Every structure is written in C-alpha cells, then in structure tokens.
Amino acid sequence: MQIQPSSPSRRSRLIEVAMLFLRLGVTAFGGPAAHIAIMRDEVVKKRKWITEQEFLDLFGAANLIPGPTSTETAIYLGYRRVGWMGLVLGGVCFVLPATLIVLALSWAYVQYGTTTWVTGILYGIMPVVMAIIAQALWGLGTKAVKNWMTGVIGVCAVVLYMLGVNILIILLLAGLVVMISGNLSRIKNIPMVGILLSLAGLNLLTTPAPFSLTLLFLNFLKIGATLYGSGYVLLAFLRADFVLHLGWLTDKQLIDAIAIGQITPGPVFTTATFIGYLLGGIPGAILATLGIFLPSFIYVGISSLFINRLRNSPWASSFLDGVNAASLGLMLAVSIQLASTALIDPLTIGVAVICLIILIRFQTNSTWLIAGGALIGLFHTILL
C-alpha cells in the first residue's frame, strides 16, 4: 500500500505564513498591483496553496471591501492557509516590517530631513515592478477573461478608471452586468443584492481642532473603514482631514508622507505611520497605524465566512466573475499610469524588458530582481 505524504502540521503552516508575509513586508515594493503579482507568484505558482481561480476570487473579494487591497489579500490568504490564526498572522506580518521601516524613516525625517539615495533606489526598482505586474496580468488574465463579456468588462473598467469613475462603482457595475447577463433565465428570481455604501464624505470634524491622540485614531479608523481606491484616493482623504479640516499638517508634510509610503515596501497605507509620528511621536504612529488597518481585519474576518459559498451560487459566481474581470482591468489601468513615470529612459525600459524575459523564461524569484534593480538605481545615481 502506498503511503501518502502527511500534510504540514498547523504549527508549520503558521510558521510558513509568518515567514512568507514577513519577507514580503520587507521586499514587496511597488504598491498594491505589484504586491498582488508577487503574492500570486508565491502562493499559486510556487507553494500551490490555492488555485489560480481561488486566488482570483480572494482578490475580487478584497476589491469589494474598503481598505488596502494587497493587505486584505494577505489576510485572506493567511485565513485560507491556517484559519483565524493565519488571518491575523498574515496581515500583521505583512504590515509590521513596513511599519517599522516607515517609523525609522519618520525619525530620520524629523531629525535630519529626507535622504537623496531613495530616489536612486526607486529609479531602479520601478522598472522591475512593471515587469512583475506585466507577468501577473498575463497569467491572471487568462483565468479572469472567460468569454467575450468578461473581456469587454475588463476593457470598460480601464476606460472608466481613466475617466475618473469611482472604483467601487466600476466593480459593482461589472459584477451586476455579468451576473444579470449570465442569469437571464432566472431573471424573475433576482435576489436582493446588499451594497455597502462608502462613507467617504464623512468627516469627524469640519473645523480646525487641537491635536489629540484620540481624534487622530478616530480619523484614521474612519479612513480605513471607508476608503476605496489607490494611494491617490488616500491622498485626497488625508488632505481633506488633516490639512483642510483639522489643520494639523501642511501640504508639504502631506506630500512627504505620501512619498515615504510609496518608496517603502509593503502597504502604501503605512503613510499613516509617518503622519502619526509627525503629529504624536511613537504613540501617534502606533494609533494611526492601528486605526487605518484595523477595519481590514474586521471586514475580511466577516466576509471570509461567505467566500467559500460564492461559487455554489450561479448569481454570486457570475457576479464575482465580473468583479474579477474589472479588477484585472483596474490593475492594467494603474500599470499604464505607473509606466509613464517608471519607464522614463532607455535604461529603465531595458531593465523592464530584461526582467520580464527572465520572469517568463526562468521563473526567477522576483525578490532577487527587485534587489538587482535597487543596485542598478544606486549605481546610476552614484555615477551621475
């Protein structure tokens, strides 16, 4: 009788989740699109924790709830691998390294000002990120675009995003169109579809107020609970709350905060850590970080109870197909925008092309390519 290999123990799976997301928290540069690409490479292709379709479903679900998409995907993946302990561990381990890095940069910013070598590192990393995203778009696209309808949905998502349409509206419309078109025979039995309305316009205060740690926490909690979209949307929220309404930050400080969040690995939402430190030191950094990320754990914890049932319902399944197609379209749209700033000369274009060839031909670990890109950027800056 053939002996089947035993499955990994719960302890070993917890360690596996922790080590993976700690490493990604240190090395995953490039924002949500790149994070999703790297996670897909790690958990689908290399470790085979889940299938491509399951990854798409988790990614689509993360897009439907407020908060940072890549962090919520990490939380979903941790839950899928080890249950509730994995849910907490996946999210915390992905966020913690970036938080500590941003905290250190915040201290340096306050003490000595910004450093010039960061520009060189970003210059070399961004072309590599574009190659990683391109590979992921192709791999996920073959699964998400199942027919002409989902193909059209993906293209429409790109166009609507470029026109400035709210991301939540794009995702909901995509899901509804595919759901209704795929279930015309059941049209008389359309179930009620609950839609979570964003409270993005809600502000705790509309006039300047003295700084307090409590109000800092509550404002970031509100942002984490209601924000849909990219770092550009985060910028709008932060400016409305902390520059215009509360008067705690200047525009210059806000721009520096966004820059720190973008050039460091892990979630862009660690911008909150930087702002919290500027305003309230280490206690402010901790409370701001906790406030902006806490809603994501709650949303994922609640929605995880229903994801496994989605594919069993023809309505929910087709709705999620539409969301998946639109999510890929949104990734493509973001990539197009990033390319205009990442591929700016023959060197960056060459790095992107070579990295894409290496990824496709040799399936190289993307972490090594990111490290190589950082070195190229540093050398380029030094030589100039």
| Structure confidence by residue, pLDDT tens digits, 293-329 | 999 999 888 887 776 665 566 776 777 778 778 878 8
Which tokens go with 329? Answer: 């379209």
Please check whether residues 107 and 125 belong to one and the same domain.
Answer: yes
Helices (H), the chain: 10-27, 32-40, 52-64, 69-82, 84-112, 117-144, 148-162, 167-181, 213-226, 231-238, 251-263, 271-310, 314-342, 346-362, 366-383
Which tokens go with 222? Answer: 């509100």
Please check whether residues 56 and 164 belong to one and the same domain.
Answer: yes
334 found inside a domain: yes
Please check whether residues 88 and 232 belong to one and the same domain.
Answer: no
Amino acid symbol at 256: D
Inter-CA distances, 53 with 57, 59, 298, Å: 6, 10, 24
**Residue 84, phi then psi, degrees to nearest 5:** -65, -35
Please check whether residues 144 and 235 belong to one and the same domain.
Answer: no
Please check whether residues 134 and 179 belong to one and the same domain.
Answer: yes
139 found inside a domain: yes
Please check whether residues 309 and 285 belong to one and the same domain.
Answer: no
Please check whether residues 168 and 84 belong to one and the same domain.
Answer: yes
194 found inside a domain: no
* Residue for token pair 């060459």: 350
Which tokens go with 97? Answer: 């390294």
Which of 292, 309, 329 terminates a domain? The answer is 292
**Residues ≥6 apart with Cβ < 8 Å to 143:** 52, 53, 56, 324
178 found inside a domain: yes
Residuewise pLDDT in 10s, the chain (384 residues): 444 445 678 888 888 899 999 998 888 776 677 788 888 888 988 888 888 888 888 887 787 677 788 888 999 999 988 888 989 999 999 999 989 999 998 887 777 655 667 677 777 877 887 887 787 777 777 777 778 888 888 888 888 888 877 676 887 888 888 888 877 666 554 444 444 334 344 445 556 678 889 999 999 998 888 775 555 557 667 877 888 788 888 877 777 777 677 667 888 888 899 999 999 999 999 999 999 999 999 988 888 777 666 556 677 677 777 877 887 887 788 778 767 777 888 998 999 999 989 888 887 767 678 788 888 888 888 777
Please check whether residues 156 and 84 belong to one and the same domain.
Answer: yes
Please check whether residues 299 and 288 belong to one and the same domain.
Answer: no
141 found inside a domain: yes
Domain of 168 in residue numbering reads as 10-185+294-383
Which of 292, 313, 344 terminates a domain? The answer is 292
Please check whether residues 93 and 170 belong to one and the same domain.
Answer: yes
Burial of 113 (0-12, 13-18, 19+ CB in 10 A): exposed
227 found inside a domain: yes
Please check whether residues 338 and 325 belong to one and the same domain.
Answer: yes
Closest CA to 307 of 47, 38, 75, 7: 75
Please check whether residues 47 and 117 belong to one and the same domain.
Answer: yes
119 found inside a domain: yes
172 found inside a domain: yes
Say what the pTM is.
0.64
What DSSP character marks residue 182? T
Q: Give yes or no for a contact between 66 and 228, defined as CB atoms under 8 angstroms apart.
A: yes
Domain count, the chain: 2
**Residue 227, phi then psi, degrees to nearest 5:** -85, 125
Which of 270, 292, 314 terminates a domain? The answer is 292
